[in-house]
Structure 1
Amino acid sequence: MSRRGSTRWCASSWGGSMARNQTTTGGREATTGVIPGRWALSVGNPGTPTEPGFCWTSLSELARLESGHTPSRSKPEYWNGDIPWVGIKDATGNHGRVICSTLQSITGEGVANSSARVLPAGTVCLSRTASVGYVVTMGVPMATSQDFVNWVCGPGLSSRYLHYILMSEQESVRRFAHGTTHQTVYYPEAKAFHVCIPERKEQDSIVAVLGALDDKIAVNEHIAATVDSLVGSMYEKTLSAGGGSEEVLLGEIATINANSTKQLHEGVLRYVDISSVGVGSYEWPDLISWDEAPGRARRKASVGDTIWSTVRPSRRSHALVLDGDPELVFSTGLAVLGPKSVGPALLYEVTRTAEFQSYLESVAEGSAYPAVRADRFASAPVLLPPKDVREEFERSAMNLRHRAHQAAVESRTLAVLRDTLLPQLMSGMLRVHDAEQIVEDAV
């Protein structure tokens, strides 16, 4: 006999309804069509069997759907105020996180003279246009652009639980989108969202399990940020030590693109593209076959090398490579800088400065996709601290960099575990007491 439960009962039977808080986005009514997701999200009620204790419920019965808006850009008095304003870059750069600050902010006057709304902390935001499917939760009251659908959860639905549902169903959300040039999740589909959830107590237990992993990942991210700040300060101090700093060209202390690999016909690799490199880090790539690899998969980097994106240097896409995985292969759109007459920590630090970035921007060629030639990297002027303090800097800085790298490697493992547990817990296929032991062993 199947353990799966009936879908006849609904969340409102245990007090989850938000019927008194109607959606205020206006526009067309919810679609009557059904587009099933993978586990716990669907456009319309799919009527699929559920695990015991779980049921399909309209999201609008549990949370109030809110839209966003962009105040007029021609009114400077509407911008740079004290109200954080969530844009697409905030979502893509902080996917899966609670955010307390944003790249842009608006004023009370901007809110009063537009359709923007200040939404409460805990509001769950889902990007619905351009970059579809990114999820953030407000840590403080904020407004958003019209690129988001936002949910203010009622008592029957944990905002963090909804956050995890949307994270686990990111690919499904992209399937819900329409359009050829610009994919968009339209409001009729968003209004028809259904979620498969347990009662609130079970939601909180599931959130606690997944949250333990995310909290540890957050601690590791804080370690990395602290190391960046500390080593940056150490470098500034060494520059001023004794007044003996000297200006040299980067090519005097570093190799540029010294190693490459040929396109193979068999085997696997971990390919790092430009898009996966952020400011000070890169996303850990999955294994792919060489048959799947693009032609740009050619660069090799050794432990201690620095990678810098040659395209759009204003984005500051760079990282220190401390992974010794022989299957790592980098895009030819990345310049690989190898330490030659200085240590890896010092080389990385001289390329992190605002002056180095400004130089790259000044020599970039092209308007749509400004790019920097490899020989331009070699000609970059950089400041070296006095020789007698470099060794101490290198030793202290590399110890810190290795500590941050250990934290990053641990976070990769924890993220894989979270992403493995996420759909199983969201669907009810894995129960909390079993997941708790797995997480305890990991953290």
Structure 2
Amino acid sequence: MADVGVRVLDCDHRTPLAQLSGHPYIAIPDIQDGRVTWGTTRRISDEDLVEWTRRTRPQRGDVIVTRRGRVGDTAALLDDRPCAIGQNLVILRSDGRAVHPGYLRWVTRSPAWHSEVARLLNVGAVFSSLNVSDMSKIRLPFPRLGDQRAIAEVLGALDDKIDANSDLSRTLNDLAAEYFSQSVQAAGEGPTYGNVADVFGGGTPSTKTDDYWGGEIRWATPTDVTALQAPYLEDTSRHLTSAGLAACASELHPAGSILMTSRATIGAFALAGGPTAVNQGFIVVRPKDSQLDMWLFHEMQSRVSDYLAVANGATFLELSRGRFKTMPVRWAPEDVMRQFGAIARPLHERARAAMHESRSLATLRDTLLPELMSGRLTVKDAEHAVEEAL
């Protein structure tokens, strides 16, 4: 990369103190799916921002690379917001003469990139790493600058639509939450969660029994939920067989069940998109009256501070299912709760549809990426595929 004007800029090998507010300090966990998840970044002060960017000041067009743990994951900076990068991250920056910054964003997510990372990887007993000095040795395909720009525009169009869908989903969820905050003003202390819903826990079948794993039954862990951009769980990272489900202390919960993480991270939520089993890190709520599902979902989302107040545990906080079931629900007149559901449900359906479209677009993007980088697919053919999808 050094031969084509791409510099490797190292981080400051210290960590500043976290603040309640301030500027983003990007760490490895904040690099997800080619992006920085700004909402998860720790915050640092004005003074520390100056101190931690003396060596490297991130700017639009930079590509951030993880070089320990999840080695080789990348995220492009798409704006000029003030921020700093954390330890074990580096920045790739093109001077623009031979490598278009937009193309650099995509080529560092291609099979050729991951092949080069694997070639230069230092495998350790605890974690693997990539030396900063080796990164300039990475060899990647760089077609003519005009072709690079065209490839970046094709793939960027899909990402722009994915971003728009994420914004739409977030707005729709915010609208539903705002309407709930107005509707709940008519509520008083009512029955307990155990009175108005069936409340379940979960479990993990033996991970040593291969026959339990690799089936088609969704089995959720808290990580599946905390990684979501919107509260709709359509699939899980691991799946059970029928034998695994039978050996698991979890029922197969139907679509629409409310999943809430209940240990370590308490109060991350999702609505099950299909039949789903869960591990022991969840409380699952299935309203006895299905028309009150939206009311209970938003009621639970708005009560996280109450759950944290009654959680306990020596190693990590946990909200017990028994304690949760005894907690009172804010209960409004039935017509108010049903009217809320009639308004909130279409908002969530539209938000879920937007995220579903984004998953399809991401699949198309990830299919086109290696084909464009290898030259097996022309830009014109890719543009046609994108036009049909959009």
Q: Under a length normalisation based on structure 1, what TM-score does the superposition of the two structures give?
A: 0.74
Q: Which of residues 368, 385, 388 is equivalent to 1:421?
A: 368
Task: Name the structure 2 match of 1:224.
Answer: 169
SS in 2 for 1:317: strand
Q: Deviations over 1:197-225 (max 9, x none)?
A: 21111111111221121111111111111
Q: Of residues 152, 166, 185 in structure 2, which corresponds to 1:207? A: 152
Q: Deviations over 1:89-142 (max 9, x none)?
A: 3224xx322667743234245534786532222211012223433322222143
Higher helix share: 2
Identity of aligned residues (%): 27
State the partner residue of 1:97. 35
After superposition, what is the alpha-carbon deviation per residue over 1:367-391, rounded to whole angstroms, capped at 9, x for unaligned?
4343333223312333233333111
Query: Quick check: 1:177–1:185 contact (8 Å CA) kept in 2?
Result: yes
1:61 to partner: Cα distance = 3.0
Aligned equivalents of 2:262 and 2:336: distance in 1?
31
Measure, in 2, the Cα distance between the counterparts of 1:82 and 1:261.
40
One-letter amino acid of the counterpart of residue 28, structure 2: I
Rounded to whole Å, the distance in 2 between the matches of 1:183 and 1:120 is 28
Shift of 1:395: 0.3
Aligned equivalent of 1:379: 326
Structure 2 partner of 1:433: 380
- Aligned residue in 1 for 2:208: none
2:127 equivalent in structure 1: 182
- Structure 1 residue runs of 5 or longer lacking an equivalent are 1-57
Asked whether the 8 Å contact 1:83–1:106 carries over to 2, the reply is yes
Cα displacement (A) at 1:152: 1.4
1:238 equivalent to 2:183? Answer yes
Report if the CA contact (8 A) 2:14-2:87 is conserved.
no
TM-aligned CA deviation for residue 160 of structure 1? 2.6
CA distance change for structure 1 residues 195 and 59 in 2, over 3 Å: closer, same or farther? Answer: farther
What is aligned with 2:294?
Answer: 345
CA drift of 1:182 comes to: 2.7
Query: CA contact under 8 A between 1:248 and 1:382: conserved in structure 2?
Result: yes
Residues 1:114 and 1:70: Cα distance change in structure 2 (over 3 Å): farther
Corresponding residue SS for 1:318? strand
167 and 265 in structure 1: CA distance in 2 versus 1, 3 angstrom threshold: closer
2:10 aligned with 1:87: no
What letter is aligned with 1:272?
A: A
* Whole-Å separation in 2 of the counterparts to 1:420 and 1:130: 26
Query: Deviations along 1:384-428, whole A, 9 cap, x unmatched?
Result: 333331111000000101111111111111111111111111222
1:249/1:381 contact within 8 Å kept: yes
Contact 1:260 1:299 in 2 (8 A): no
- Spell out the pairing of 1:12-411 with structure 2 (5 A cutoff): 58-59=1-2, 61-69=4-12, 73=16, 83-92=23-32, 95-97=33-35, 102-108=41-47, 110-112=49-51, 116-138=55-77, 139-140=79-80, 141-155=82-96, 156-169=98-111, 172=115, 173=117, 176-241=121-186, 244-257=187-200, 268-278=216-226, 280-282=231-233, 284-285=235-236, 290=241, 298-314=250-266, 316-321=267-272, 323-324=273-274, 326=275, 328-341=276-289, 343-353=292-302, 356-411=303-358
Provide the rounded CA distance (Å) in 1 between the counterparts of 2:243 and 2:87.
Answer: 36
| 8 A Cα contact 2:224 2:237, kept in partner | no
Instruction: Select between 382-391 and 148-157 the one with higher mean Cα deviation.
Output: 382-391
1: CA distance, partners of 2:46 / 2:323:
43
Residues 25-79 of structure 1: CA deviation (Å, up to 9, x unaligned): xxxxxxxxxxxxxxxxxxxxxxxxxxxxxxxxx35633121111266646x8xx6
Relative distance call for 1:131 and 1:287 in structure 2 (3 A) is: closer
Local SS of the residue matching 1:426: helix
The CA deviation at 1:339 is: 1.3
List per-residue Cα deviations over 1:148-207 (Å, max 9, x = no partner). Answer: 110111212222322222223475446725322133222133232221121111111111
Deviation at 1:306, TM superposition (A): 0.7
SS class of match (1:335): strand
Say whether the 8 Å CA contact 2:219–2:236 is kept in structure 1: yes
Stretches of structure 2 lacking an aligned partner (at least 5 in a row):
206-210
The answer to whether the Cα contact below 8 Å between 1:312 and 1:369 also exists between their aligned partners in 2 is yes
3-state SS, counterpart of residue 256 of structure 2 = coil
Instruction: Measure the CA separation in 2 of the matches of 1:426 and 1:133.
Output: 17
Cα–Cα, structure 1 residues 70 and 236, in superposed 2: closer, same or farther, change >3 Å? Answer: farther
Contact 1:59 1:194 in 2 (8 A): no
Contact 2:202 2:248 in 1 (8 A): no
What's the CA shift for 1:431?
1.5
- TM-score, normalization by structure 2: 0.83
Structure 1 residues 106, 162: closer, same or farther in 2, change over 3 A? farther
Kept in 2, the 8 Å contact 1:308–1:317? The answer is yes
Secondary structure of 1:194 counterpart: coil
The aligned length equals 373
Distance in 1 separating the partners of 2:27 and 2:141: 28
Structure 1 residues 291, 60: closer, same or farther in 2, change over 3 A? farther
Output the CA distance in 2 between the equivalents of 1:437 and 1:145: 40
Letter in 1 for 2:57: V
Q: What code does the residue aligned with 1:234 have?
A: Y
Residue type matched to 2:176 in 1? V
Check whether the contact 2:194–2:325 (CA below 8 A) recurs between aligned residues: yes
2:190, 2:65 → 1: CA distance? 48
CA distance in 1, matches of 2:263, 2:55: 35
CA spacing shift, 1:329–1:81, aligned 2, 3 Å: closer
